[in-house]
Structure 1
Amino acid sequence: MPLTRRQLLGAASLASAPLALSACAGFSTKGDEPAAASGTLAFTTWGTDAELAGFRSAISAFEKANSGVSVRLNAVPYEQMFTTIDAQLQAGTPPDVFRVPYYTFGGYAGRDQLLDLTPHLDKSVAERFTPAAWQAVLRGGAPYGVPHHTDTSAILYNKPMLAAAGITEVPTRLEDAWTWDELARVAGALRRELPDAKYPFVYNWQGNGVTRWLSWLFEADGRFLAEDLTTPAIDSDAGRAAVEFTQSFFRQKWVPPNSSVKSSTYAADIWYSQTAAMTWAGAFLLPDADATLDFEWGATFSPRRARSAGDFGGNALVATKQAKDPALAASFLDFVTGADPMREFCSGASLLPTRKDLVESGVDFAVRPELSPVFIGQASSVQPQDSGQVASPSMSAIITVLKDQLEEAFVGGRSVEETIAGLTRGIADATSR
């Protein structure tokens, strides 16, 4: 069975055919001199089997295109990834290149631990990526990484459970996604039909996935940080609407009581067991679901209020400030975000591209390719102002604030106003550190 995101292993020995070698254009050193044609790069990452296969394929192609260059891949378990990176940075022995979630990127860039890629970037490289993805790797207007892929949550649904409640059609276009009111009516119909031990849906905000709660805030056209990325902005009508609506999931018994943000049970597992009719999930879950589930299921778009939105997930690739050969590191980052390597990586791993051309042309997932447009369409609803907040330098500390305050709102009985006040205080403290 394919590895899931919950089973991130540190090693895999998968062979892949090399990618087309036409993808290495866009980066240059000052004066447009080509990057060094010899040297060794150390690249540290975690990944599922499919992700590591994609990286190995890109590395093989990069080495063939650059005689004398070698890239040493160090695959580690996700649980060890950043303790390892942090220790190496402190000791002065970091890898040249590593992979980092967008919500962690800002911390490294803010501590001046990453390489400013400006001297090594072609001036037009920003046009390669979607605005939301490019915004996520900027610090003070300068790029300190490249957006490798993204992911966002859409709704996976159990077709027989919905049909039993009379729900036989779901939105097939982003612009037709359920509104919050329509989602409430769907949840109500399911609640009336389902036995007490089963639930209309479950949301994937457990653990660090609490950042996915922000989708509700963005759908209400709200912010949690002002444009300066330090001033709290959650105290707003949109903030109150997001807290009140998501709090109602528990009061209305639309979600299991053990599925709050501090739950140790993943939303996908609850859905797999058919305890919930729907779950929010990233595209990365599709291979595991296809291999595991024995019921008919599909995908549709997340709901909308003032606008459509989505959580901005996925990962960037960055070079450390101490990279032995900055130009070579930049050349590698360029290569792996070329059209062919990104297409193969995203297709094989069921992840979403950050290149505008691939978003426009579409990427067919290797598993359940008919669902690709749902996830790519959902990702298109993420705006630069959303991704920029998620990639802020204070995001790691803000995650803890979200966990604590939302847990009290969902299962502790805290009022909307108390929750907004607690979020405001916590965000202010997190951004002042």
Structure 2
Amino acid sequence: MQQNKHTTFARLCVGLLGLFLVAMALSSCSFPGSRDSHEVVYWTTATDPITTKAQQAIIDAFDKANPDLHVRMVGMPSQGTGDSTSLITAVRGGSPPDAYMIDRFTVSQQASVGLLQDLTPYESKNPGLENGYLPFAWGETQYQGHSYGLPLETDARAIYYNKDLLKQAGIDPSELDPSHGPVTVDKLWSIAQKLNKTDSHGNYTQIGFIPWAGEGEHATWALDFGAKYFNQQQCQVTLTEPAIMQAYQDYQKWAQQLNYSRVATFLATYQPPNAPPSQTPFFTGHLAMSIDGNWNIASLQQYAPKLNYGVTYLPRQQAGEQPFTWSGGMAVVMPRGAPNADGGYRFIRYMTGAEGQKIYAQITGHLPTWKDLYNDKSLFQGNQQFFGNLMQYSTSRVPLPVGAQLWDAMTTAQQDVLLGNKSPQQALQEAQARIQPQMQQYCPFKIS
């Protein structure tokens, strides 16, 4: 009982601290009537040093090009996918910012509950604006035929492989060279088994490939296998469809063959909680192949500059299938009731246009969503060129107003299957039963 009291007290303190931080952030925005009419208040959920530097560089360039306006950035870290706490507080309290960077995947969710300003009237003054962006990125900012944000950066996922470890196992690294196209899932798994090593106690000292680690999450495999997630005609989420079921059946098989608990021990050993960013099993040569994103290039340059690695396509189910990847990224939106809407839109348009995205890509290494920037070779050096070329094959998660809830349900199902607590069918049926009633309130629903 004493431990429960301490836990309750701790949670209360954390909650009060969260409310205090939100209140401080809101007070920094002040109320519409007390703000300088030339000021644009910009909130961002991306607060790491590199991304903050990139955003400030964009702001400086914008301020110079627009001397009648001044942008003030406020860090507003998110507590998780789809977290709307600070935005709800700001909008309902009448003190929202003029622009806000959020996860693009959550735009539909925020728009569906009335937190975002419809940007369609602004964009109608720039006919064809949508043609400037990668189609999937533009689609993620749309809700029920209206635009609620503009896409910023994006990313892509692929297989990173350690050439030296492959050679030591007698495997020619050229088998994974992207010039040969994607390998099959079975081929990759076969290669991976030759790279596993254990000590005298049966503990892993080296693993060829952990399919669920890194970016090997449910979206990667389900989308790779052709998952649709949503039947628009029936307004039904389709979490038990064959492609998703196949991904979770593979999780079950992989977890049994590798022994999930032994893999967990391996990860706890070579990448313990709170380990520095330089300590990952791939960086230290204990994991031969890993699913990761283009952002990993910069990390490798910084933390493992001597690692002899290559990058290749995600595996496909059948030989001869075209390459595949999926992309996420951020968008810049205007919260409903923004005091300086015109100034806010001017900043949003600049930040997500060619000028802003180029600055962002140069500093962060992220990929742009502005299509013309793919002709700028200065943004695609070394292995980044591979990811740039890969974007022609990319797709994204389905932008549903229950996207965050769906993601959480699928993550729970993934963990239950990996741990052996539930069968793929049971876990996915429970996810379906959890999400469909939430989706039903938005029916009929049309994907833009």
> TM class by shorter-chain length?
0.7 to 0.9
The offset of 1:295, in angstroms, is 2.9
Residue 40 of structure 1 aligns to which amino acid in structure 2? E
Distance 1:422 1:308 in 2: 32
Please give the per-residue CA displacement for 1:319-357, whole angstroms capped at 9, x wherever unaligned: 112112322222111111222321221132011111122
Q: How many residues align?
A: 386
**Mapping for residues 116-127 of structure 1, pairs under 5 Å:** 116-121=118-123, 122-127=126-131
Distance 1:242 1:174 in 2: 26
Distance 1:110 1:259 in 2: 42
Whether the 8 Å CA contact 2:43–2:97 is kept in 1: the answer is: yes
Residue 191 of structure 2 aligns to which amino acid in structure 1? V
The alignment partner of 2:167 has SS state of helix
2:163 counterpart of 1:159: yes
Please give the per-residue CA displacement for 1:155-204, whole angstroms capped at 9, x wherever unaligned: 22222212222142254448702221222222222237998332112356
How many percent of aligned residue pairs carry the same amino acid? 20
Distance 2:148 2:282 in 1: 38
TM-score when normalising by structure 2: 0.77
Residue 119 of structure 2 aligns to which amino acid in structure 1? L
Whether the 8 Å CA contact 1:229–1:392 is kept in 2: the answer is: no
Deviates more, 1:403-412 or 1:276-285: 276-285
Cα distance change of structure 1 residues 315 and 245 upon mapping to structure 2, 3 Å threshold: same
Distance 2:109 2:185 in 1: 34
The alignment partner of 1:303 has SS state of coil
Please give the per-residue CA displacement for 1:380-408, whole angstroms capped at 9, x wherever unaligned: 3223xx44x1x321011112211221111
In structure 2, runs of 5+ residues without a counterpart are 1-20, 22-36, 442-448
Q: What corresponds to 1:42 in structure 2?
A: 41
Residue 222 of structure 2 aligns to which amino acid in structure 1? L
Distance 1:250 1:175 in 2: 29
Match of 2:226 among 221, 235, 248: 221
2:114 counterpart of 1:108: no
Q: What corresponds to 2:94 in structure 1?
A: 92
Q: What corresponds to 1:310 in structure 2?
A: 325
Q: CA RMSD in A?
A: 3.2
The alignment partner of 2:90 has SS state of helix
Q: What corresponds to 1:372 in structure 2?
A: 384
The offset of 1:270, in angstroms, is 3.5
Q: What corresponds to 2:407 in structure 1?
A: 399
Residue 99 of structure 1 aligns to which amino acid in structure 2? M
The offset of 1:143, in angstroms, is 0.9
2:359 counterpart of 1:359: no
Q: What corresponds to 1:345 in structure 2?
A: 360
The offset of 1:409, in angstroms, is 0.8
The alignment partner of 2:379 has SS state of coil
Between Structure 1 and Structure 2, whose CA radius of gyration is higher? 2
Distance 2:234 2:293 in 1: 26
Match of 2:244 among 222, 230, 239: 239
Deviates more, 1:340-349 or 1:118-127: 340-349
Distance 1:184 1:225 in 2: 30
Whether the 8 Å CA contact 1:200–1:254 is kept in 2: the answer is: no
The offset of 1:244, in angstroms, is 1.7
Distance 1:396 1:230 in 2: 17
Residue 373 of structure 2 aligns to which amino acid in structure 1? L
Q: What corresponds to 1:71 in structure 2?
A: 71
Please give the per-residue CA displacement for 1:83-106, whole angstroms capped at 9, x wherever unaligned: 433432332212111111122222
Distance 1:204 1:316 in 2: 27
Residue 378 of structure 1 aligns to which amino acid in structure 2? L
Cα distance change of structure 1 residues 244 and 50 upon mapping to structure 2, 3 Å threshold: same
The alignment partner of 2:174 has SS state of coil
Q: What corresponds to 1:283 in structure 2?
A: 294
Whether the 8 Å CA contact 1:47–1:78 is kept in 2: the answer is: no
TM-score when normalising by structure 1: 0.79
Q: What corresponds to 1:26 in structure 2?
A: none
Distance 2:239 2:351 in 1: 37
Match of 1:146 among 143, 150, 175: 150
Please give the per-residue CA displacement for 1:19-39, whole angstroms capped at 9, x wherever unaligned: xxxxxxxxxxxxxxxxxxx72
Please give the per-residue CA displacement for 1:368-388, whole angstroms capped at 9, x wherever unaligned: x311122223333223xx44x
Please give the per-residue CA displacement for 1:263-314, whole angstroms capped at 9, x wherever unaligned: 9859983433433212222222322221112532232221223654333321
Please give the per-residue CA displacement for 1:23-73, whole angstroms capped at 9, x wherever unaligned: xxxxxxxxxxxxxxx721100112332222221121112112222210001
Distance 2:353 2:134 in 1: 14
Q: What corresponds to 2:422 in structure 1?
A: 414
Cα distance change of structure 1 residues 174 and 295 upon mapping to structure 2, 3 Å threshold: closer
The alignment partner of 2:368 has SS state of coil
Whether the 8 Å CA contact 1:302–1:378 is kept in 2: the answer is: no
Distance 1:173 1:110 in 2: 41
Whether the 8 Å CA contact 1:335–1:341 is kept in 2: the answer is: yes
Distance 1:308 1:259 in 2: 33
Cα distance change of structure 1 residues 233 and 115 upon mapping to structure 2, 3 Å threshold: same
2:326 counterpart of 1:320: no
Please give the per-residue CA displacement for 1:92-136, whole angstroms capped at 9, x wherever unaligned: 212111111122222211111111111111121000001111101
Distance 1:269 1:102 in 2: 28
The alignment partner of 1:257 has SS state of helix
In structure 1, runs of 5+ residues without a counterpart are 1-9, 11-37
